[in-house]
Amino acid sequence: MIATVSLALATIAFVGTHLAMSHPYRGRLIGQMGEAGFRLLYSLVAFVTLGLMIWAYQDAEPWPLWTAPDWAWNVGSAIMLLASILLVGSFMGNPAFPHPGAAKLAVKPARGVFAVTRHPMNWSFALWSVVHILVYGSPRNLIVAAGILVLALAGSIGQDAKKRSTLGQSWRDWEGRTSFVPFAALFSGRAKWNAAFPGAIAIGGGALLWLAVTSLHAPTASVPGWLGLL
């Protein structure tokens, strides 16, 4: 019980410091420490808090509160394939990344994974969290998955606010052509379905990532159903 509480506190520390340093305190810290100093502090805090999470996770309660049915594993795997494609696709032409060309990317039409959501990387983490909550209900897994889910969604909201202040109208126009919630822009007509094809790199890379992780993860998790064959 103590280890589970420790894991919850470590998760809160990891998520809370990440959000605080990424958004409300980022500018102030950079002004005081410089970009290099801020990156060093940010990395150090993330390393320490993540290490505390891993340490506490090892001792926290592993027993499940429920047992997922076989269909949940197969549905979860299909969702993870989508998450893998979103993750790989997010590295190509993402205006949310902090680089000088972000404003130019934000004026382009939404294509590939960005037609699905303007936050494909964070949604890949959010979908990972949802799948792990669905298939494995141990206290320690629920704590970590819930923490990552909060970090992904709150981080996306904070990212939108930050980009509006730094990119101005370019980002507002990008928000108008995309959606926070996956597929919302497509169903509303703001993005075109024929532009949502992720492309060979995103699909191929996502499929390879999904296959590699599933092949390694499924046997150790005693996965039932067809996934157990991988």
pLDDT tens per residue across span 87-111: 999 999 898 887 777 778 888 888 9
Res 218: pLDDT:
63
Please determine, for residue 47, whether its predicted confidence score (pLDDT) is greater than 60.
yes
Residues 6+ apart with CB under 8 A from 209: 84, 87, 88
User: How many residues are listed for the chain in this entry?
Assistant: 230
The lowest-confidence range among 27-41, 167-181, 206-220 is 206-220
In whole angstroms, how large is the CA radius of gyration of the chain? 19
Q: What is the C-alpha separation between 35 and 27, in angstroms, rounded?
A: 10
217 or 109, which is more confident?
109
Q: What value does the mean pLDDT take over residues 164-173?
A: 89
Please determine, for residue 12, whether its predicted confidence score (pLDDT) is greater than 70.
yes
Please determine, for residue 48, whether its predicted confidence score (pLDDT) is greater than 60.
yes
b/e for 3-30, b at 16 or more Cβ within 10 A? bbebbbebbebbbebbbebbbeeeeebe
Taking CA atoms, 152 is separated from 44, 57, 122, 139, 222, in Å, by: 20, 20, 5, 20, 28
